[in-house]
Structure 1
């Protein structure tokens, strides 16, 4: 479907541009299609109200796109309570220090030097002398960032048309992002194709003779990036892959309140107790056996003495056992005073058979392993190699040593990053991170 756009000229008549609105493309797809076929005369069908002059483009603006330029940038990630991603220009006056080890930093360098002398990914610190008014990263502007990749960002350079004509000495630069939509102009209403080609040729000569484009007219600021999930195949919305707005972290889901009718989990020393009856009244204590008769001068026989002797369990040491209870758990101890085997509303314990061989609680040993693992931030590069050997991951020791991965660095990895950077299998990455987080060693 063809449409037209009118532009007032100095000849006091209206010029109507012709274009096919069904050929509309987002600027990223347009760049891929026409980057080697410039210059082009086009109209912005969907503009953007951006934060910089490079992404602030009005709808219905007619532009002549003359060429494109490339800017090198790096993607940086900061791991905090939420992950932050930054896009940082390589060619800038910002200084950084490469993290070479625990409490060991390299000299202040720009990104050109860092990328030349280091293999990605690499950890860097903002220098303490850094000054930036728009973004504060970490306390006093310092933070540790993981530089994950280097990429190119593209910009169109050309002119905006006013009243059908250009000002050759007034250039414009537009960043290539899919939020902007554009379509090529095919001709001028009521004029032949030859007239339209003459119109384009005249503009070409003006630009060639007068215009001087700036090779470094691009954004030099640090930008906060939001990584978006890929759009579904049925979606018609273009996904930019990045956004320049600050992204608020999602609100945590509210914790569910435990119902008063829920029965608590229990941990007992003997065999499991039945569910506690949900009675509001406190159950009565079981009846006690008859008290022994007062001593007399007569010496009772051995059978009577054994019969009336109070219960005694000689197989249990008189040491209070340590029982680990989780939150909202209780300990229920057996009632050893009753001698009735059918107590109403109470569990019956065979204490002698259950406690002849008390179990040893190994929780303390597990905690010792966990505490040691949680102190992994203090491990040096050699210690990390020992951990890999312990987990049968020694084939990655050389790579970790080359990348100077110490305990603090290892804590910043995730399973996905280990699989991507070191080609670990999923089970290997999970095994390593279980040790980092919990001190777990497979048995």
Structure 2
């Protein structure tokens, strides 16, 4: 099924401002985007039915200089799951803990807070007490907005939800105005079918937003509009702690990895235990769907497997074998790394060679931990996805990137 598109292209924010009161709209990706965050990646010519939009309230947080941590800018959901206490003294146990929303409602910003001392965070097999987290200054709140919709593939509406954040400035969308070779009545019937399915089978959380802490680039000014700022990543509590302690912005060399006093203490206390694992399996790793939108009852269930029978749109498909949805393509991104050649035999990589490989794979944030664990080529070949995710806290896509490199030297281009 081929669609007719308007020649005008819009940014996501322009779609929101112009059509937020006229949704739903069916759009096509006119210019794709390859983001640091997997869910921020969109392919050219993907078709999306935008049903509605969500607003999530977040608060901007800056680590206090006295914490001797890597300074940066973050945002935290106002309904964040961990509690905080006001920073009135160095003895946290004297302070009562509150949710972020309670602190914001009862205090005028900016206000200085600490993670509550009685909170213990467990992520996978790792746990850490929040007393090791930095003190923060909460400066102001803002709303992060997402367009909410579903992909349409060859006349079938995918049951998986897709959020499109307004901060994606390079993503371009075009309005779809019809189906090529079909009448206006046929196009209207198609839209009516989609509306009927959406009204009966889909429910959206209008407060949807990312549950984790957003970490922004270091080059953030005081007058930045955070609702327009694309995060570098969203970090769970353990990743946030690790970012504070081991940050790629330090650009430490192998021989001075412990040169910062507080880093040496933290690294020693959070040493990772390496597991003995078999050689990398040859079988292909299956991908796992990620739930994007809260369903009724504030439950985030695993996404159901796609079942075209429940969502198929009854549109008279052309029998012309050449009438197919164009193959999507993705904007190529040129990696930035040294041109120095790596050794051909990964098995004999030195630690510095592994570090260079991490840079080329855009995984440089893991270099300090790999150096601390003395990961050379032979050990790298023994790491599987489970070890990378549980012991080093890789995302699934990051783990696949490194596993494929260790197997045959593949570097995405």
| TM-score (normalised: structure 1) | 0.45
- Structure with bigger gyration radius: 1
Structure richer in helix, relative to its length: 2
Which structure's relative contact order is higher, taking Cα pairs within 8 Å and 6+ residues apart?
2
